[in-house]
Amino acid sequence: MKFKKIYLNPIMKILSSSLIKLPSPKNISLFWNFGSILGICLMTQILSGLFLAMHYVPNTEMAFQSVVHICRDVNMGWFMRIIHANGASFFFISMFIHIGRGIYYESFYLIQTWNLGVMIFLLTMASAFLGYVLPWGQMSFWGATVITNLLSAIPYLGTTLVYWIWGGFSVDNATLNRFFVFHFICPFIVLALVILHLFFLHLKGSSNPLGISSKSFKIPFTPYFLIKDIMGFMFFFCALFFITMFFPYYLGDPDNFSIANPMVTPLHIKPEWYFLFAYAILRSIPNKLGGVIALLMSILILFFLPLLKKNKIKQGSQFNLIKQNLFWMLISIFFLLTWIGAEPVEDPFIITGQILTILYFSVMIKFPSQ
Protein backbone atom coordinates (compact mmCIF):
# COMPACT_ATOMS: atom_id res chain seq x y z
CA MET A 1 0.00 0.00 0.00
CA LYS A 2 2.77 2.37 1.04
CA PHE A 3 4.78 1.41 -2.05
CA LYS A 4 1.79 2.18 -4.28
CA LYS A 5 1.49 5.66 -2.75
CA ILE A 6 5.16 6.37 -3.42
CA TYR A 7 4.74 5.11 -6.92
CA LEU A 8 1.88 7.56 -7.56
CA ASN A 9 4.16 10.49 -6.70
CA PRO A 10 4.73 12.53 -9.91
CA ILE A 11 8.51 12.67 -9.39
CA MET A 12 8.64 8.94 -8.83
CA LYS A 13 6.59 8.47 -11.97
CA ILE A 14 9.17 10.42 -13.97
CA LEU A 15 12.03 8.49 -12.39
CA SER A 16 10.25 5.23 -12.98
CA SER A 17 9.57 5.97 -16.63
CA SER A 18 13.18 7.08 -17.26
CA LEU A 19 15.16 4.64 -15.15
CA ILE A 20 13.00 1.63 -14.38
CA LYS A 21 10.32 0.96 -16.96
CA LEU A 22 12.04 2.71 -19.85
CA PRO A 23 11.75 0.39 -22.89
CA SER A 24 15.28 -0.04 -24.27
CA PRO A 25 16.49 -1.91 -27.36
CA LYS A 26 17.72 -5.32 -26.39
CA ASN A 27 20.62 -5.34 -28.82
CA ILE A 28 22.52 -2.17 -27.85
CA SER A 29 26.18 -2.99 -27.31
CA LEU A 30 28.75 -1.90 -24.73
CA PHE A 31 29.38 1.25 -26.79
CA TRP A 32 26.02 2.50 -25.51
CA ASN A 33 27.40 2.30 -21.96
CA PHE A 34 29.41 5.46 -22.46
CA GLY A 35 26.32 7.66 -21.99
CA SER A 36 25.91 6.52 -18.40
CA ILE A 37 29.69 6.52 -17.90
CA LEU A 38 29.67 10.19 -18.89
CA GLY A 39 27.01 10.76 -16.24
CA ILE A 40 29.23 9.20 -13.58
CA CYS A 41 32.18 11.25 -14.90
CA LEU A 42 30.16 14.44 -14.46
CA MET A 43 29.18 13.50 -10.92
CA THR A 44 32.82 12.61 -10.06
CA GLN A 45 33.97 15.98 -11.38
CA ILE A 46 31.26 17.93 -9.56
CA LEU A 47 31.90 16.19 -6.24
CA SER A 48 35.71 16.34 -6.36
CA GLY A 49 35.45 19.93 -7.61
CA LEU A 50 33.28 20.89 -4.64
CA PHE A 51 35.87 19.58 -2.20
CA LEU A 52 38.65 21.40 -4.07
CA ALA A 53 36.65 24.65 -4.11
CA MET A 54 36.51 24.52 -0.30
CA HIS A 55 40.29 25.09 -0.18
CA TYR A 56 41.14 26.80 -3.46
CA VAL A 57 41.83 30.57 -3.49
CA PRO A 58 41.09 32.33 -6.82
CA ASN A 59 43.73 35.02 -6.43
CA THR A 60 46.89 35.31 -8.52
CA GLU A 61 49.00 35.73 -5.36
CA MET A 62 47.64 32.60 -3.73
CA ALA A 63 46.13 30.28 -6.37
CA PHE A 64 49.29 28.23 -7.00
CA GLN A 65 50.08 28.07 -3.27
CA SER A 66 46.51 27.02 -2.47
CA VAL A 67 46.78 24.10 -4.90
CA VAL A 68 50.08 23.09 -3.28
CA HIS A 69 48.34 23.44 0.11
CA ILE A 70 45.51 21.16 -1.06
CA CYS A 71 48.01 18.52 -2.16
CA ARG A 72 50.28 18.69 0.89
CA ASP A 73 48.21 19.82 3.88
CA VAL A 74 44.56 18.95 3.27
CA ASN A 75 43.53 15.46 4.34
CA MET A 76 43.44 13.37 1.13
CA GLY A 77 43.57 16.66 -0.81
CA TRP A 78 46.10 15.16 -3.23
CA PHE A 79 43.52 12.49 -4.04
CA MET A 80 40.79 15.03 -4.81
CA ARG A 81 43.18 17.01 -6.96
CA ILE A 82 44.43 14.10 -9.09
CA ILE A 83 40.96 12.56 -9.39
CA HIS A 84 39.65 15.92 -10.65
CA ALA A 85 42.55 16.45 -13.08
CA ASN A 86 42.52 12.91 -14.48
CA GLY A 87 38.72 12.77 -14.30
CA ALA A 88 38.68 15.53 -16.91
CA SER A 89 40.81 13.38 -19.21
CA PHE A 90 38.52 10.40 -18.71
CA PHE A 91 35.50 12.64 -19.30
CA PHE A 92 36.91 13.49 -22.71
CA ILE A 93 37.96 9.91 -23.53
CA SER A 94 34.39 8.78 -22.80
CA MET A 95 32.95 11.72 -24.70
CA PHE A 96 35.07 11.02 -27.78
CA ILE A 97 33.97 7.37 -27.76
CA HIS A 98 30.32 8.45 -27.22
CA ILE A 99 30.49 10.87 -30.17
CA GLY A 100 32.38 8.30 -32.27
CA ARG A 101 29.64 5.74 -31.62
CA GLY A 102 27.05 8.36 -32.58
CA ILE A 103 28.85 9.00 -35.87
CA TYR A 104 29.49 5.30 -36.64
CA TYR A 105 25.86 4.27 -36.07
CA GLU A 106 24.54 7.62 -37.31
CA SER A 107 22.70 8.36 -34.10
CA PHE A 108 22.55 11.99 -35.22
CA TYR A 109 19.11 11.18 -36.65
CA LEU A 110 17.83 11.97 -33.19
CA ILE A 111 18.41 15.63 -34.04
CA GLN A 112 17.42 17.32 -30.75
CA THR A 113 19.38 14.77 -28.73
CA TRP A 114 22.41 15.10 -31.02
CA ASN A 115 22.40 18.90 -31.01
CA LEU A 116 22.08 19.03 -27.24
CA GLY A 117 24.97 16.56 -27.07
CA VAL A 118 27.14 18.83 -29.20
CA MET A 119 26.24 21.76 -26.92
CA ILE A 120 27.23 19.68 -23.89
CA PHE A 121 30.52 18.86 -25.64
CA LEU A 122 31.20 22.55 -26.31
CA LEU A 123 30.36 23.55 -22.76
CA THR A 124 32.50 20.75 -21.34
CA MET A 125 35.43 21.95 -23.44
CA ALA A 126 34.89 25.48 -22.15
CA SER A 127 34.69 24.21 -18.59
CA ALA A 128 37.88 22.15 -18.98
CA PHE A 129 39.73 25.15 -20.40
CA LEU A 130 38.58 27.39 -17.53
CA GLY A 131 39.56 24.74 -15.01
CA TYR A 132 43.04 24.35 -16.49
CA VAL A 133 43.72 28.04 -15.81
CA LEU A 134 42.91 27.78 -12.09
CA PRO A 135 46.15 26.17 -10.76
CA TRP A 136 47.93 29.28 -12.09
CA GLY A 137 50.93 27.37 -13.37
CA GLN A 138 52.99 28.44 -16.36
CA MET A 139 50.88 26.48 -18.86
CA SER A 140 47.65 27.70 -17.20
CA PHE A 141 48.66 31.32 -17.63
CA TRP A 142 50.04 31.04 -21.13
CA GLY A 143 47.24 28.75 -22.29
CA ALA A 144 44.72 31.33 -21.06
CA THR A 145 46.66 34.10 -22.80
CA VAL A 146 46.80 32.26 -26.13
CA ILE A 147 43.19 31.06 -26.15
CA THR A 148 41.59 34.32 -24.98
CA ASN A 149 43.70 36.18 -27.53
CA LEU A 150 42.01 34.17 -30.28
CA LEU A 151 39.01 36.45 -29.86
CA SER A 152 41.14 39.39 -31.00
CA ALA A 153 40.83 37.93 -34.50
CA ILE A 154 37.19 39.08 -34.62
CA PRO A 155 37.10 42.21 -36.80
CA TYR A 156 36.36 45.56 -35.07
CA LEU A 157 35.21 44.05 -31.75
CA GLY A 158 38.10 41.64 -31.15
CA THR A 159 40.43 43.66 -28.92
CA THR A 160 37.57 45.19 -26.91
CA LEU A 161 36.13 41.72 -26.38
CA VAL A 162 39.46 40.34 -25.20
CA TYR A 163 39.89 43.17 -22.65
CA TRP A 164 36.31 42.65 -21.50
CA ILE A 165 36.94 38.94 -20.90
CA TRP A 166 40.25 39.61 -19.15
CA GLY A 167 38.71 42.32 -16.99
CA GLY A 168 41.83 44.39 -17.61
CA PHE A 169 44.71 44.69 -20.02
CA SER A 170 46.20 41.25 -19.46
CA VAL A 171 45.34 37.87 -17.98
CA ASP A 172 45.39 38.81 -14.32
CA ASN A 173 43.53 38.58 -11.03
CA ALA A 174 40.17 39.61 -12.47
CA THR A 175 40.53 36.97 -15.20
CA LEU A 176 41.35 34.24 -12.68
CA ASN A 177 38.42 35.25 -10.48
CA ARG A 178 35.85 35.16 -13.23
CA PHE A 179 37.30 31.97 -14.71
CA PHE A 180 36.85 30.30 -11.32
CA VAL A 181 33.23 31.47 -11.13
CA PHE A 182 32.47 30.26 -14.65
CA HIS A 183 34.29 26.99 -14.04
CA PHE A 184 32.15 26.45 -10.94
CA ILE A 185 28.85 27.17 -12.67
CA CYS A 186 29.54 25.40 -16.00
CA PRO A 187 29.11 21.80 -14.76
CA PHE A 188 25.67 22.65 -13.39
CA ILE A 189 24.63 24.06 -16.79
CA VAL A 190 26.04 20.87 -18.32
CA LEU A 191 23.93 18.90 -15.84
CA ALA A 192 20.78 20.76 -16.92
CA LEU A 193 21.60 20.10 -20.57
CA VAL A 194 22.21 16.43 -19.77
CA ILE A 195 18.69 16.20 -18.33
CA LEU A 196 17.32 17.71 -21.55
CA HIS A 197 19.57 15.38 -23.58
CA LEU A 198 18.04 12.40 -21.75
CA PHE A 199 14.53 13.80 -22.09
CA PHE A 200 14.79 13.95 -25.87
CA LEU A 201 16.57 10.60 -25.99
CA HIS A 202 13.78 8.91 -24.04
CA LEU A 203 11.16 10.63 -26.19
CA LYS A 204 12.27 8.76 -29.32
CA GLY A 205 14.25 5.91 -27.82
CA SER A 206 17.86 4.86 -28.27
CA SER A 207 19.32 3.88 -31.62
CA ASN A 208 20.76 0.39 -31.89
CA PRO A 209 23.59 -1.40 -33.71
CA LEU A 210 21.28 -2.72 -36.45
CA GLY A 211 20.08 0.77 -37.32
CA ILE A 212 16.53 -0.57 -37.76
CA SER A 213 13.46 0.00 -35.61
CA SER A 214 13.82 -1.80 -32.32
CA LYS A 215 10.18 -1.53 -31.35
CA SER A 216 9.68 -5.25 -31.92
CA PHE A 217 12.02 -6.24 -29.11
CA LYS A 218 12.50 -3.87 -26.23
CA ILE A 219 13.24 -4.72 -22.63
CA PRO A 220 12.81 -2.67 -19.45
CA PHE A 221 15.80 -0.60 -18.36
CA THR A 222 15.77 -2.11 -14.88
CA PRO A 223 17.19 -4.62 -14.17
CA TYR A 224 18.93 -5.32 -17.48
CA PHE A 225 20.59 -2.04 -18.37
CA LEU A 226 20.94 -0.91 -14.80
CA ILE A 227 23.15 -3.94 -14.14
CA LYS A 228 24.97 -3.47 -17.45
CA ASP A 229 25.64 0.18 -16.58
CA ILE A 230 26.94 -0.77 -13.13
CA MET A 231 29.32 -3.16 -14.87
CA GLY A 232 30.42 -0.27 -17.11
CA PHE A 233 30.99 1.94 -14.06
CA MET A 234 33.23 -0.72 -12.53
CA PHE A 235 35.40 -0.88 -15.66
CA PHE A 236 35.49 2.91 -15.78
CA PHE A 237 36.59 3.26 -12.16
CA CYS A 238 39.22 0.55 -12.62
CA ALA A 239 40.74 2.54 -15.50
CA LEU A 240 40.38 5.89 -13.71
CA PHE A 241 41.97 4.62 -10.50
CA PHE A 242 44.76 2.87 -12.36
CA ILE A 243 45.86 6.07 -14.10
CA THR A 244 45.09 8.36 -11.15
CA MET A 245 46.88 6.36 -8.47
CA PHE A 246 49.86 5.06 -10.44
CA PHE A 247 50.47 7.64 -13.21
CA PRO A 248 48.69 10.77 -11.95
CA TYR A 249 50.79 13.33 -13.83
CA TYR A 250 51.29 11.36 -17.03
CA LEU A 251 48.60 13.28 -18.92
CA GLY A 252 49.62 16.68 -17.58
CA ASP A 253 52.41 19.09 -18.43
CA PRO A 254 55.46 19.52 -16.16
CA ASP A 255 55.46 23.26 -16.92
CA ASN A 256 52.32 23.62 -14.83
CA PHE A 257 54.30 22.79 -11.69
CA SER A 258 56.03 26.16 -12.06
CA ILE A 259 54.12 29.20 -10.88
CA ALA A 260 52.76 31.49 -13.62
CA ASN A 261 55.31 34.03 -14.73
CA PRO A 262 54.18 36.64 -17.29
CA MET A 263 57.84 37.48 -18.01
CA VAL A 264 58.89 33.95 -19.05
CA THR A 265 57.15 32.30 -21.99
CA PRO A 266 57.37 28.47 -22.07
CA LEU A 267 59.18 26.99 -25.07
CA HIS A 268 56.13 25.08 -26.33
CA ILE A 269 52.72 26.36 -25.31
CA LYS A 270 50.21 23.61 -25.80
CA PRO A 271 46.84 22.78 -24.30
CA GLU A 272 45.83 19.56 -22.57
CA TRP A 273 45.85 16.45 -24.79
CA TYR A 274 42.09 16.49 -25.41
CA PHE A 275 42.28 19.87 -27.17
CA LEU A 276 45.31 19.03 -29.29
CA PHE A 277 43.34 17.94 -32.38
CA ALA A 278 41.51 21.30 -32.46
CA TYR A 279 44.73 23.14 -31.63
CA ALA A 280 46.48 21.47 -34.59
CA ILE A 281 43.64 22.62 -36.86
CA LEU A 282 43.94 26.16 -35.48
CA ARG A 283 47.68 26.24 -36.20
CA SER A 284 47.27 24.82 -39.69
CA ILE A 285 45.65 27.97 -41.06
CA PRO A 286 48.21 30.74 -41.66
CA ASN A 287 45.58 33.46 -41.12
CA LYS A 288 44.53 34.19 -37.50
CA LEU A 289 40.82 34.67 -38.15
CA GLY A 290 40.83 31.71 -40.54
CA GLY A 291 42.46 29.58 -37.86
CA VAL A 292 39.87 30.57 -35.27
CA ILE A 293 37.03 29.80 -37.69
CA ALA A 294 38.59 26.42 -38.54
CA LEU A 295 38.98 25.68 -34.82
CA LEU A 296 35.34 26.46 -34.16
CA MET A 297 34.19 24.56 -37.23
CA SER A 298 36.12 21.46 -36.16
CA ILE A 299 33.51 21.10 -33.38
CA LEU A 300 30.53 22.90 -34.92
CA ILE A 301 30.65 20.61 -37.96
CA LEU A 302 29.02 18.02 -35.71
CA PHE A 303 25.83 20.16 -35.83
CA PHE A 304 25.78 19.82 -39.61
CA LEU A 305 26.12 16.04 -39.82
CA PRO A 306 22.34 15.40 -39.87
CA LEU A 307 21.90 18.07 -42.56
CA LEU A 308 24.58 16.62 -44.81
CA LYS A 309 22.67 13.37 -45.21
CA LYS A 310 21.44 12.81 -48.75
CA ASN A 311 19.23 9.74 -48.53
CA LYS A 312 16.60 9.16 -45.91
CA ILE A 313 17.50 5.55 -45.14
CA LYS A 314 18.36 5.17 -41.50
CA GLN A 315 21.58 3.26 -41.80
CA GLY A 316 24.90 3.59 -40.03
CA SER A 317 28.30 2.34 -41.06
CA GLN A 318 27.75 -1.21 -39.88
CA PHE A 319 26.62 -2.43 -43.30
CA ASN A 320 28.51 0.06 -45.44
CA LEU A 321 32.15 -0.66 -46.13
CA ILE A 322 32.84 2.79 -47.60
CA LYS A 323 31.46 4.45 -44.49
CA GLN A 324 33.50 2.13 -42.32
CA ASN A 325 36.62 3.14 -44.22
CA LEU A 326 35.73 6.81 -43.85
CA PHE A 327 35.01 6.37 -40.16
CA TRP A 328 38.30 4.67 -39.37
CA MET A 329 40.06 7.24 -41.53
CA LEU A 330 38.46 9.93 -39.37
CA ILE A 331 39.66 8.19 -36.21
CA SER A 332 43.20 7.95 -37.64
CA ILE A 333 43.10 11.64 -38.63
CA PHE A 334 41.95 12.53 -35.12
CA PHE A 335 44.88 10.68 -33.53
CA LEU A 336 47.37 12.15 -36.01
CA LEU A 337 46.05 15.67 -35.42
CA THR A 338 46.42 15.11 -31.68
CA TRP A 339 50.03 14.12 -32.27
CA ILE A 340 50.68 17.12 -34.55
CA GLY A 341 49.14 19.48 -31.96
CA ALA A 342 51.77 18.37 -29.43
CA GLU A 343 54.69 18.95 -31.82
CA PRO A 344 56.47 22.28 -32.32
CA VAL A 345 55.36 24.55 -35.15
CA GLU A 346 58.01 23.61 -37.72
CA ASP A 347 58.35 21.45 -40.80
CA PRO A 348 57.32 18.72 -41.44
CA PHE A 349 54.62 19.14 -38.79
CA ILE A 350 53.13 22.27 -40.40
CA ILE A 351 52.43 20.71 -43.79
CA THR A 352 51.30 17.45 -42.18
CA GLY A 353 48.84 19.36 -40.00
CA GLN A 354 47.50 21.22 -43.01
CA ILE A 355 46.95 18.02 -44.99
CA LEU A 356 45.27 16.39 -42.01
CA THR A 357 43.02 19.43 -41.49
CA ILE A 358 41.81 19.23 -45.08
CA LEU A 359 41.26 15.49 -44.68
CA TYR A 360 39.38 15.98 -41.38
CA PHE A 361 36.83 18.33 -42.89
CA SER A 362 36.59 16.35 -46.15
CA VAL A 363 35.84 13.10 -44.35
CA MET A 364 33.38 14.78 -41.99
CA ILE A 365 31.48 16.30 -44.90
CA LYS A 366 31.63 13.16 -47.03
CA PHE A 367 30.69 10.68 -44.30
CA PRO A 368 26.91 11.29 -43.97
CA SER A 369 26.29 11.47 -47.71
CA GLN A 370 27.73 8.03 -48.48
Partner 1 sequence: MAACMRRICGAGLLKSNHGIVLQQANKYSSSSTWTKSQKALCTSAGVLAGGVAALWYTLDRSVQAKDLILHPPEQDWPHKGLLGSFDHASLRRGYEVYKQVCAACHSMQYVRYRELIGVTHTEEEVKAEAAEIMVEDGPDDTGAMFKRPGKPADRFPSPYPNENAARAANNGAYPPDLSLIAAARHGGEDYLFSLLTGYCEAPAGVVLQEGQHFNPYFMGGAIGMAQAIYSESAEFGDGTPASASQIAKDVSAFLRWCSEPEHDQRKKTGLKALLMLAAFTAISIYWKRHSWSSLKSTKILYVPRKKL
Active site residues: 202, 206, 228-229, 272
Residue 131 CB contacts under 8 Å (≥ 6 apart), including other chains: 49, 84, 88, 183
Taking CB under 8 A as the rule, does residue 362 contact partner 1?
Answer: no
Minimum Å distance from CB 219 to partner 1? 7
Quick check: 255 binds partner 1 (CB under 8 A)? Answer: yes
Site string for partner 1, 3-42 (x = CB under 8 A): -----------------------x----------------
Task: Give DSSP secondary structure letters for 70-116.
Answer: HHHTSTTHHHHHHHHHHHHHHHHHHHHHHHHHHHHTTGGGSHHHHHH
Q: Does 250 bind partner 1 (CB under 8 A)?
A: no
Side chain identity, residue 262: P
CB of 152 to partner 1, least distance (A): 30
Annotated binding site: 84, 98, 183, 197, 202
CB of 301 to partner 1, least distance (A): 21
Binding part of the chain for partner 1, among 12-20, 48-56, 142-150, 227-235 by CB under 8 A, reads 227-235
Instruction: Determine, following the binding rule CB under 8 A, whether residue 358 of this chain makes contact with partner 1.
Output: no
Question: Could you tell me which of 217, 188, 358, 192 has the C-alpha nearest to residue 280?
Answer: 358
User: Which positions make up the binding site for heme b?
Assistant: 84, 98, 183, 197
CB count in 10 Å sphere of residue 103: 22
DSSP string, 173-239: HHHHHHHHHHHHHHHHHHHHHHHHHHHHHHHH----TT-S--TTSEEESTTHHHHHHHHHHHHHHHH
Q: Is 224 in the site for partner 1 (CB under 8 A)?
A: yes
Give 254's contacts (C-beta < 8 A, 6+ positions apart). Answer: none
- Known binding-site residues for a ubiquinone equal 202
Residues that bind partner 1 (CB under 8 A): 26, 65, 68, 71-72, 78-79, 82, 209-212, 219, 223-224, 227-228, 230-231, 234-235, 237-238, 241-242, 244-246, 248-249, 254-255, 257-258, 267, 313, 315, 318-325, 327-329, 332, 336, 339, 343, 370
